Structure 1
Amino acid sequence: MRSLPPDLFAELCQQSIEHLQCQSTGVDQTLLCQRFQAAGVDTSVDEVRNVINAVNYLFSTAAKHKLSTDALLNTVATHYKLPKQTLQVIRHIWNEEGNKLSDIESSRDLLPSAQLLDFQWKIGMAVSSDSCKSLNHAYVTVELKVAEHSGQVQTKVFEMTIPEFQNFSKQFKEMSAALENV
């Protein structure tokens, strides 16, 4: 947090607040990392994830305890040595959004469950390999884009055999039918 320019830190805070208020599905850590790197900040996706987690925790805890802006800033200043500009961003964001966030009954309400954002699949066939003996078998690659409860958007990729994918598809159809009956 200390090395982020105030405008980029404000963007991260705003996205975090929107996620905590369930106005967005999450904070895209990869996109933010790219924006930070383009602005000259030497960082990694893991470091951005840690900052997102810290900001989410900061705001959700402040909302749970219904902290005033001054109480929040005193707590932050006591535990973290942040630049004055970063503290000003926190002050501004909390002045603008803190009351809305504090109106939510508990911090558990602030953390939405994981949400599926995108589902893509493609079929392929392995035709050559140095280490695999069983070739010429079709497989399905599935790519899921998920907004996790922490607010981070992650992509999960896995492969299945055709029979596994058919079973997977069957289970989704059963879930869909069950949900229609609810």
Structure 2
Amino acid sequence: MAAGSARALAQALGTLDAGGAANKINLIPQDFFAELCEQIIHHLNHKIPGVNTAELCQRIQTSGIEINIGDLAKVANILSFLFSTAARNNLSTEELVTTLGSAVSTLPKHALQVIRHVWNEQGKSITASEDARNVATVGQFVDMKWKLGVAMSSDTCRSLKYPYVTVTLTVADPSGQITDKSFEMTIPQFKNFFRQFKEMASVLETV
């Protein structure tokens, strides 16, 4: 392993150990940890827009494990940096696992086994081209949902009864974390929003 790649990998491992992420990994059951690693690999290989840590966290919590979304997102970010660094430097499975085992003493055995399996099976699929190395600086749109509601009252008015639209955008941020962003619009605002979408669609049809 070249000196530059060794330093980059050491940075990832140092963050993993010093940030206490290795201890958080110990809380995650092996099947969920494997799913997290596979989602990260698929994201790095541009097969999915991001890692849905919110949905995965909810399922882990439902299974009886106490872990919060912030800790799971931190683990996902570190693993993503770890895998991308390994891909850029063409690390073999043994090089990656050996370095992990020697650098992070608190990393649980089941995590090393999962990383070995996932990297051995899918690590080579990550595109290590120059374009793939460039990290995106903007988020990626995943989905949009909306619903119509009626405001019945407020602190200043007892009976409003005006309609409004709640829009929820699901986006993947540059690190690959999938999050929901919600906002409300009045009916005129929503009509203007819809009109702009129609204008975009018309322009796209001419491309």
TM-score interval, normalised by the smaller of the two chains? 0.7 to 0.9
Q: 2:86 & 2:157 partners in 1: Cα distance?
A: 54
**Counterpart of 1:17?**
41
**Counterpart of 1:5?**
29
- State the shift of 1:52 in Å: 1.4
**Counterpart of 1:89?**
114
The reply to whether residue 177 of structure 1 matches residue 197 of structure 2 is no
- Cα 1:165–1:76 change in 2 (3 A) is same
- Cα 1:35–1:120 change in 2 (3 A) is closer
1:9-48 pair list within 5 angstroms? 9-48=33-72
Q: 2:200 & 2:175 partners in 1: Cα distance?
A: 25
The reply to whether residue 117 of structure 1 matches residue 146 of structure 2 is no
The reply to whether residue 165 of structure 1 matches residue 190 of structure 2 is yes
**Counterpart of 2:89?**
65
Instruction: Return the TM-score normalized by structure 2.
Output: 0.75
Instruction: Return the TM-score normalized by structure 1.
Output: 0.84
- State the shift of 1:42 in Å: 1.1
Q: Does structure 1 conserve the Cα–Cα contact (< 8 Å) formed by 2:166 and 2:183?
A: yes
**Counterpart of 1:150?**
175
Q: Does structure 2 conserve the Cα–Cα contact (< 8 Å) formed by 1:114 and 1:148?
A: yes
Q: 2:92 & 2:27 partners in 1: Cα distance?
A: 26
**Count of aligned positions:** 181
Q: Does structure 1 conserve the Cα–Cα contact (< 8 Å) formed by 2:150 and 2:163?
A: yes
Q: 1:113 & 1:74 partners in 2: Cα distance?
A: 35
* Paired amino acid for 1:9: F
Aligned-partner SS, 1:40: coil
Q: Does structure 2 conserve the Cα–Cα contact (< 8 Å) formed by 1:13 and 1:93?
A: yes
The two structures, once aligned, show a CA RMSD in angstroms of 2.5
- State the shift of 1:10 in Å: 1.1
- Cα 1:13–1:118 change in 2 (3 A) is same
Q: Does structure 2 conserve the Cα–Cα contact (< 8 Å) formed by 1:21 and 1:110?
A: no
Aligned-partner SS, 2:176: coil
Aligned-partner SS, 1:143: strand
- Cα 1:2–1:137 change in 2 (3 A) is same
- State the shift of 1:109 in Å: 5.8
Q: 1:100 & 1:125 partners in 2: Cα distance?
A: 49
Q: 1:58 & 1:15 partners in 2: Cα distance?
A: 14
Unaligned runs of 5+ in 2: 1-24
Higher mean C-alpha displacement, 163-172 vs 127-136: 127-136
Q: 1:112 & 1:21 partners in 2: Cα distance?
A: 17
